[in-house]
Chains A and B, each alone.
Chain A
């Protein structure tokens, strides 16, 4: 390894070194070696059950690797949690839960606020800012359950932003969203990508739009590709031969070709 690449790896936001993971001795992920640089916008794709969400949970330190290691900002994930914003899938949350949009967003301040008694003004202020940033400043007091799917997803992003993260991890953020909602959603992520590294997991390749800078394909191997390198062959290899590639990266930005 040359000094230059060693340095690049030190600076990586997420770095996996020979990472392996399996449930009950059945290997799911093997020999994963990837490095995601700061400021990247990564989409993790692969068929259902390939280990995409597992990779995300390893990055969060919710699961421990069977062998190898994963580092976030050069540290074990548990010690980097204060710098990670996590956005889970919203449909698994109880729809009748008695919380307002602001209540949910404030939960993103738990790691930073004193543990006893109520929220400080500072926490409330930061949560309001985060809701403003995702375009829900006028819905703060609305019942979380009464918001639309897209709005709930935005509240969960605001909750992650309220903790002032440097890395945003999203699990299937567009599951169940209408196409036009999805479009606005990606524009929000593009805006956030100006200051945050973003990694999102998706089971479909439909999103690989101009916003995404690189793609991590999870199959028998885990590989990073710049968006422009995604070919029919890679997809056929990942999803099986029935898949067809529909080209929609017609904008062909420079970023798409830099690698």
Chain B
């Protein structure tokens, strides 16, 4: 059975560009996923990351509508998702700094409104609603070469920013009060972290879709956290785990024609619970 799945998958990779693109997209997105996911886990902002992920539907929906109805081509739907995610990060960041007590309520509001805007524009767009499904649950097989360049570019951006500021980012996550006393502008770095989260979320939306992003962003990093003693180790392990999961998700889903995003997330969740159980028993 596995042999059959494997053969079908490897044949497809050899013969189809879209399979090669899909594999490459998964591998490239894993880099940001491991690096930024580690920060999201240690700073405990997965709810914020979830909110940002869902608001990307607004960007995707609006740009898709403009494309179909008005022939607007200046930005791709993925570009629209980048704008929506950064905007959501700015709003949520401001709220969580200034209205601490009601932070979760406001995140919930931004989350739902972002989705509602997306749904409204998608319903205004003539055509099939399958687009909605592929935004929500991902369709890695649809990744174009333009998308790949965008993913690679965002990857480089994320890595450069983290390499430049890793000292401050780590200190802000570990003990922000102490970091502030050391003269670190903690609010700026908080926004920077949310911005990186927004960009990474957009990368992952193309792999597993809006609803499933949060699992892929946080679970590989959470698994890595059980083994790593230092942040760079956590990032490296999370990246490898994420790449392994997206690749196997793609491989296992191909022959039975199952949605790759959902299979990837089922694998991710199972791996997470299995790791946590094994680690706990020891």
Interface residues of A (CB under 8 A from B): 60, 62, 81-82, 84, 86, 88, 93-94, 96-100, 103-104, 106-108, 110-111, 113, 115-119, 143, 159, 163
Contacts and interface: CB of A to CB of B under 8 A. Distances in A.
A256 B21 CA distance: 77
Interface string B28-56: 00000000001000101000000000000
Contacts of A60: 181
A100 B230 contact: yes
Contacts of A94: 42, 44, 174
Given A100-B229, A118-B166, 5 more contacts: A86-B181, A98-B234, A110-B171, A159-B178, A163-B182
B183 interface: yes
Nearest to B175: A93
B168 interface: yes
Interface residues on B, range: 20 to 34
Nearest to A92: B175
A76 to B, nearest CB: 14
Interface in B163-198: 163-168, 170-171, 173-175, 177-184
Contacts of A117: 163-164
Nearest to A100: B230
Contacts of B180: 62
B231 interface: yes
Contact of B174 (A107, A111, A143): A107
Contacts of A99: 170, 174, 229-231
B167 A110 contact: yes
B174 A104 contact: yes
B181 A84 contact: yes
Given A98-B42, A107-B182, A163-B182, A118 B174 contact: no
B164 A116 contact: yes
Given A88-B177, A93-B174, A110-B183, A116 B229 contact: no
A93 B165 CA distance: 21
Nearest to A114: B167
Contact of A143 (B167, B183, B229): B229
A110 B177 contact: no
Contacts of A82: 183
B271 to A, nearest CB: 18
